[in-house]
């Protein structure tokens, strides 16, 4: 959520920068400023009214003390009116604040100056490419056919139990999945991230805190009876550790990693490009989350990118890094780098990680602040990234490591799987 002072001082700049996200902010910012002026003027009226009421109460007390009951009762009539005024002004204040907050919740984060304009993923900027695309043997298969051939993932069984997008992992497929989770967590812990286990459902306040709510695209699963939401990523519960917290400058950086299942409705997703593991409603992911001082957050973002690079180098998967254009950058992010692994069997790139800096956008929603050496309060910066999302990493391993004899296991995973080939 953008800060009101920032909006008042930088309105024109915000309008121009949000055009990069294809968002016309001019009208909504005018509404925000108008409501803020109304809120401020109403607050002044309320404060003055309260001051008059307090002054009269003291005068009434003195009059009663001095035996001037008639004068005191006359003034009490005025205090009654002042109380009515206060009640009306409180109602106006509350309504105005609700309208103002609702508007602020619907304004995207301002993108970093490096983020270029663009409509969608086709306009993203490739900034790095590494790894060798393997030459597969004749008759090489996409991962969904390999899964069936070696009986390691059962899409039909998942469809029977729940529906499309909920696969069942079996045998060596389940062990490979578990191995990847353990490997990712170990790599993150070695890099200084503290492992945590978190709830898989969150309350409404948590959803608003990280920007998943209001859910404009209908992507979250909502447990209506309890007004809870299935998490779309561990980012939501982990980032909300710091909701309503006042930290000290020396507390930073703060780094967490968590494994969770993730749940996304993926409304409107269909077609051949979402076949198999390419897009699921439930999938596993290991997340990294950082809380940083503002002056260090972009250095931290670069460090997170390098960390994911190291993992992919060990997995020996061909990958590239994209800096997302404005049209593909999420509502809450100021800058995002996507990692994509090349699927040789499908002859296409598959997104496997997003690493983002949200600057103080989430912190303002969360009311996450810290005190500097002079006891002045500031908003912290938040960052998160996938390290890594499992389905497409698994798809990349199955497809790129397939041989006529079976699917080889990346060397760095063998100590986790206990086997070096699926056949």
The pLDDT assigned to 269 comes to 54
Average pLDDT over residues 321-332: 97
Do 153 and 190 reside in the same domain of the chain?
A: yes
Total domains in the fold of the chain: 2
Confidence of residue 384 (pLDDT cuts 50, 70, 90): very high
pLDDT at 45 over 60: yes
- What CATH number corresponds to the domain at position 21? 1.10.287.40
- In this structure, is residue 269 part of a structural domain? yes
Average pLDDT over residues 346-351: 94
Do 301 and 397 reside in the same domain of the chain?
A: yes
Domain that holds residue 39: 4-104
The pLDDT assigned to 266 comes to 84
Last-in-domain residue among 74, 104, 134: 104
- In this structure, is residue 113 part of a structural domain? no
- In this structure, is residue 291 part of a structural domain? yes
* ∠ CA 283-289-292, rounded to 5°: 165
Do 125 and 234 reside in the same domain of the chain?
A: yes
- In this structure, is residue 224 part of a structural domain? yes
The region of weakest confidence among 81-85, 387-391, 408-412 is 81-85
The region of weakest confidence among 45-54, 166-175, 252-261, 319-328 is 45-54
Do 198 and 223 reside in the same domain of the chain?
A: yes
pLDDT at 247 over 90: yes
- In this structure, is residue 311 part of a structural domain? yes
Q: Quick one: which of 320, 329, 319, 332 has its CA closest to 396?
A: 319
Question: Measured in whole angstroms, how far is the alpha carbon of residue 302 from the centre of its chain?
Answer: 18
Average pLDDT over residues 24-46: 97
Do 147 and 219 reside in the same domain of the chain?
A: yes
Do 255 and 345 reside in the same domain of the chain?
A: yes
Cα dihedral 313→407→346→232 (10° resolution): -70
- Within 10 Å of residue 255's Cβ, how many Cβ atoms? 19
CA 392 vs CA 317, 321, 352: distances in Å: 11, 15, 6
The pLDDT assigned to 324 comes to 98
Average pLDDT over residues 1-20: 97
- In this structure, is residue 110 part of a structural domain? no
pLDDT at 65 over 90: no
The pLDDT assigned to 58 comes to 86
Q: Provide the mean pLDDT of the chain.
A: 95
Do 399 and 356 reside in the same domain of the chain?
A: yes
- What CATH number corresponds to the domain at position 320? 3.30.930.10
Confidence of residue 271 (pLDDT cuts 50, 70, 90): low
- In this structure, is residue 414 part of a structural domain? yes
The pLDDT assigned to 268 comes to 55
pLDDT at 224 over 60: yes
d(CA 335, CA 385): 12
The pLDDT assigned to 23 comes to 97
Confidence of residue 239 (pLDDT cuts 50, 70, 90): very high
The pLDDT assigned to 272 comes to 55
Do 288 and 241 reside in the same domain of the chain?
A: yes
Do 128 and 91 reside in the same domain of the chain?
A: no
Last-in-domain residue among 71, 104, 137: 104
pLDDT digits (tens, 9 = 90+) for 84-126: 999 999 999 999 999 999 999 999 999 999 999 999 999 999 9
| SS3 state at 110 | coil
Do 41 and 177 reside in the same domain of the chain?
A: no
Confidence of residue 67 (pLDDT cuts 50, 70, 90): confident
The pLDDT assigned to 73 comes to 81
- Within 10 Å of residue 373's Cβ, how many Cβ atoms? 8
In the numeric block, which tokens belong to residue 16?
A: 């121009």
- In this structure, is residue 116 part of a structural domain? no
pLDDT at 273 over 70: no
pLDDT digits (tens, 9 = 90+) for 146-161: 999 999 999 999 999 9
Q: For a pLDDT cut of 90, what percent of the chain falls above it?
A: 89
Do 319 and 249 reside in the same domain of the chain?
A: yes
Average pLDDT over residues 284-306: 98
Do 130 and 83 reside in the same domain of the chain?
A: no
What is the DSSP track for 256-303?
A: EEEEEEEE---TT--SGGGTTTTS-SEEEEEEEEEEE-GGGHHHHHHH
d(CA 95, CA 241): 29
């Amino acid at each position: 959520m953008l800060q009101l002072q920032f909006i008042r001082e930088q309105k024109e700049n915000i309008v121009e920068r949000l055009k990069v996200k294809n968002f016309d902010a001019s009208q909504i910012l005018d509404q925000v400023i108008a409501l803020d002026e109304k809120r401020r003027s109403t607050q002044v009226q309320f404060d003055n009214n309260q001051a008059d009421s307090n002054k009269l109460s003291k005068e009434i007390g003195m009059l009663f003390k001095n035996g001037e009951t008639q004068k005191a009762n006359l003034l009490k009539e005025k205090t009654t009116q002042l109380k009515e005024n206060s009640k009306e002004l409180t109602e106006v204040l509350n309504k105005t604040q609700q309208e103002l907050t609702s508007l602020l919740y619907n304004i995207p984060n301002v993108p970093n100056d490096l983020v270029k304009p663009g409509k969608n993923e086709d306009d993203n900027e490739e900034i790095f490419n590494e790894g060798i695309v393997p030459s597969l043997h004749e008759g090489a298969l996409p991962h969904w056919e390999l899964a069936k051939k070696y009986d390691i993932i059962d899409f039909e069984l998942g469809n029977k139990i729940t529906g499309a997008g909920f696969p069942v992992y079996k045998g060596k497929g389940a062990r490979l999945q578990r191995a990847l989770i353990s490997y990712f967590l170990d790599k993150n812990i070695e890099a200084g991230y503290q492992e945590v286990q978190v709830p898989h459902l969150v309350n409404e306040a948590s959803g608003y805190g990280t920007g998943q709510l209001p859910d404009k695209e209908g992507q979250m699963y909502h447990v209506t009876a309890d007004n809870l939401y299935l998490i779309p990523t561990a980012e939501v519960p982990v980032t909300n550790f710091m909701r309503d917290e006042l930290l000290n400058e020396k507390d930073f950086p703060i780094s967490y990693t968590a494994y969770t299942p993730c749940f996304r409705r993926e409304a409107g997703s269909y077609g051949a490009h979402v076949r198999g593991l390419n897009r699921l409603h439930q999938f596993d992911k290991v997340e990294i989350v950082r809380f940083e001082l503002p002056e260090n957050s972009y250095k931290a973002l670069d460090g997170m990118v390098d960390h994911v690079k190291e993992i992919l180098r060990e997995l020996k998967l061909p990958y590239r890094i994209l800096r997302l254009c404005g049209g593909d950058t999420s509502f809450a992010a100021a800058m995002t780098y996507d990692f994509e692994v090349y699927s040789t069997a499908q002859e296409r790139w598959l997104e496997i990680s997003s690493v983002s800096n949200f600057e103080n956008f989430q912190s303002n929603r969360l009311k996450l602040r810290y005190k500097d050496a002079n006891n002045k309060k500031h908003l912290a910066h938040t960052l998160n990234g996938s390290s890594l999302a499992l389905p497409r990493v698994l798809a990349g391993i199955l497809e790129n490591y397939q041989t006529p004899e079976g699917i080889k296991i990346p060397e760095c995973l063998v100590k986790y799987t206990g086997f070096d080939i699926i056949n």
